[in-house]
A and B are shown apart, each in its own frame.
Chain A
Amino acid sequence: MKRLVKNGTTPLDGPRPAPDKQPWTFKEKLLLGLSLRDYLSQAFRNPLNWVAAVILVVGLPVIVSRFIFGLGYVTHASNDYPWGLFLGFGLFCMVPLSASGFLLGTTVEVFGRHDYESIERLALLNGLLGYLFAVVYLLADLGQPWRLPYPMVVSWGPAAVLFLVGWHVATYLSVQMAEVSASFFEWVGWLAGKRFIRRIALGLTTAGIILSTLHQGALGALFTYAPGKVHPLWYSDEFQWVFFFCSSIPAGLCMVIVVSTIIKRTMGWRCDSNFLDNLDRLTIGLAKGASMGLVTYFTIKLIGLAHDNEWAYLATSWGGLYGMEMLMGVVVPIVLFAYSIRHNKVGLARFAALLTVLGIVLNRLNTALFTFNWNLYQELPHIGEIIIVVSIFTIYLLVYRFLLYRLPILYTWKEETVVEEAVVVIPSAEKPSETQSLGEVSA
Chain B
Amino acid sequence: MGKISRRKFLAAGVAGAVAGSIGGARSAWAAPKLQGYPDGMGVLVDLTRCIGCRTCEAACNAEHNLPAPQEPFDDLSVLEKESHNGAKRRTDESAYTVVNRYEIPGSDTPVFRKMQCNHCNEPSCLTSCFVNAYTKTGEGAVIYDPEVCVGCRMCMVACPFYVPAYSYSSALNPLIVKCNFCYDNRLVHGQPPACVEACPQEAMVFGHREQLLAIGRERIRYQPDKYVDHIYGEKEVGGTAWMYLSGVPFEQVGFDTTLQKEPIISNVKGFLGMVPMVLAIWPALFTGFHMLAKKRERNAAADCQDDKKGESR
Residues of chain A touching chain B, judged by Cβ–Cβ distance below 8 Å, are 67-73, 75, 77, 79-80, 82-83, 106, 109-115, 141-145, 147-148, 150-151, 154-157, 159-166, 202, 205-206, 209-210, 213-214, 217-218, 221-222, 224-229, 237-238, 240-241, 375-379, 428-429, 431-433, 436, 439, 443
Contacts and interface: CB of A to CB of B under 8 A. Distances in A.
B252 interface: no
Of B90, B174, B301, the most chain A CB neighbours within 10 A belong to B174
Contacts of A80: 87, 90, 162
Nearest to A157: B132
A80 B89 CA distance: 11
Interface residues of B, number: 70
A147 B150 contact: yes
A154 B148 CA distance: 7
Contact of A112 (B160, B168, B294): B294
Interface string B165-194: 110111111110000000000000000000
Contacts of B162: 79-80
Given A165-B130, A228-B160, 10 more contacts: A77-B166, A160-B127, A161-B128, A210-B279, A214-B275, A221-B271, A225-B264, A227-B267, A428-B311, A429-B309
B87 to A, nearest CB: 6
Contact of A159 (B127, B145, B296): B127
B309 A433 contact: yes
Interface string B232-275: 00000000000000000000000010111000110110111011
Nearest to A440: B294
Contacts of A71: 166, 168, 174
B157 interface: yes
A114 B293 CA distance: 11
Closest 5 CB pairs of A and B: A143-B151, A112-B293, A72-B168, A70-B171, A77-B168
Nearest to B258: A228
A205 B156 CA distance: 35
A196 B290 CA distance: 19
Given A70-B170, A377-B87, A432-B309, A160 B151 contact: no
B131 interface: yes
B34 interface: no
Contacts, number: 206
B131 A111 contact: no
A145 to B, nearest CB: 8
A228 B259 contact: yes
* Main SS class of interface, B: loop
Interface stretch (B6-14, B24-32, B49-57, B280-288): B280-288
Nearest to B300: A112
A186 B287 CA distance: 27
Interface in B292-313: 293-294, 296-297, 301, 308-311, 313
A375 B265 CA distance: 22
Contact of B289 (A68, A77, A110): A110
A222 B69 CA distance: 34
B150 A142 contact: yes
Given A111-B289, A225-B268, A213 B130 contact: no
A432 B151 contact: no
A432 B310 contact: yes
Nearest to B134: A157
Contacts of B154: 82, 160, 162, 222, 225
B228 to A, nearest CB: 20
